[in-house]
Amino acid sequence: MAKNLESNTYTVLFASGMVIIVGALLAFVASSLQEKITENKRIEKQQNILYALGVNENDETSVEFVSKDIVGAEFSKYITKQLVISGTEAVEDPNAYLIDIKKEATEAKNPNYKRRLPLFVGEKDGVTLYIVPVRGKGLWDAIWGYIALDDQLVVQGVYFDHQGETPGLGSNIKERFFMDDFKGEHILDGDTFKGINAAKGNADPKNLDKMDFEVDAIAGATITGTGLSAMLKKDLAMYIPYLKTLKQ
């Protein structure tokens, strides 16, 4: 037996057997929990959209969503319309928030595919805001966010999140000090779309100039910041033709 244990055949067989057993077990666990996880993600999406709209339970420095027991009701209360955009046209779709942005971006590589761009119209304190979902790449993995714009295309709130950016560095994109910097920033220079850059060597570290299309970057998170700027530039641009029709 002892001799057998070290033979190559046995090693290969053992490895294969182990992989099959472990694989089957994990597949079983994943598929039986799938439904609950999807539901959690749906709730989180609603919380994120409401957060960008300014509906949250923040105190001075924390990031607190509305609780998940009331998020469904709050979502239907504040989000008045959900649209799917193509060019300057918009079609209403009550489940636009369920559109998978990642999937749409992949499908869009096929030139015949008509990409669906969800846009959420919310109303808070009498002001109508347009919330644009964005998705891009950070240093390690995906980053995404929701940008709330008013009808003059000025940012009124953002929420960013990430899959696996470095804790304490890139992960700070979801901290208040970074997200709050975006409030009041313009994305249009006259009629030209500029986006917003997370800029290093920023001449405006206190972020008083809201027309410079820049916020202060996070130290130690250069690639996450660059990815975030690129994400804003690329994904917001797709909505600009429609958003410009709002700006009279």
Partner 1 sequence: MGLLSKKDAKLITDPLADNNPITIQVLGICSALAVTAELKPSIVMAISVMFVLAMGSTVISLIRNIIPSKIRIIVQLVIAAALVIIVDQILKAFAYELSKQLSVFVGLIITNCIIMGRFEAFALANGPWKSFLDGIGNSAGYGIILIIVGFFRELLGSGSLLGYKVLGDAIEKTGVYAYGYENNGFMLLAPMALITIGIIIWVQRSRNTSLIEHN
How many beta carbons lie within 10 A of that of residue 138, not counting itself? 25
Stretch of 89-97, 105-113, 166-174, 220-228 contacting partner 1, by CB under 8 A: 166-174
Which stretches within the chain are classed as H helix?
Answer: 2-5, 8-53, 71-78, 101-107, 176-179, 222-246
Q: Among residues 13 and 211, whose Cβ is nearest to partner 1?
A: 13
DSSP 93: -
Q: Give strand pairing partners of 117.
A: 85
Three-state DSSP class for 43?
helix
Among 15, 20, 73, 127, indicate the residue that binds partner 1 (CB under 8 A): 15
Give the shortest CB-30-to-partner 1 separation in angstroms. Answer: 6
Give the shortest CB-55-to-partner 1 separation in angstroms. Answer: 17
Give the contacts of 210 (CB within 8 A, at least 6 positions apart): 154, 184, 185, 186
Give the shortest CB-154-to-partner 1 separation in angstroms. Answer: 29
203 binds partner 1 (CB under 8 A): no
Stretch of 89-97, 165-173, 191-199, 225-233 contacting partner 1, by CB under 8 A: 165-173
Binders of partner 1 among 26-85, rule CB under 8 A? 26, 29-30, 33, 36-37, 40, 43-44, 59-60
Residue 94 to residue 126: CA distance in whole angstroms? 21
Q: Among residues 93 and 175, whose Cβ is nearest to partner 1?
A: 175
Residue 200 to residue 88: CA distance in whole angstroms? 34
Give the contacts of 185 (CB within 8 A, at least 6 positions apart): 154, 155, 196, 210, 213, 215
Q: Among residues 61 and 95, whose Cβ is nearest to partner 1?
A: 61
Give the shortest CB-11-to-partner 1 separation in angstroms. Answer: 4
Q: Among residues 5 and 208, whose Cβ is nearest to partner 1?
A: 5
| Span between the terminal Cα atoms of the chain, in Å | 83
Three-state DSSP class for 65?
coil
Give the shortest CB-12-to-partner 1 separation in angstroms. Answer: 9
Instruction: Find the helix or strand (DSSP H, E) in which 131 lies.
Output: strand 127-137
Give the shortest CB-181-to-partner 1 separation in angstroms. Answer: 20
Stretch of 16-24, 78-86, 106-114, 120-128 contacting partner 1, by CB under 8 A: 16-24
Residue 184 to residue 165: CA distance in whole angstroms? 26
Per-position x/- string for 218-237, each x denoting binding to partner 1 as judged by CB under 8 A, each - no binding: --------------------
Residues that bind partner 1 (CB under 8 A): 5-6, 10-11, 14-15, 18-19, 22, 25-26, 29-30, 33, 36-37, 40, 43-44, 59-60, 164, 167-168, 171
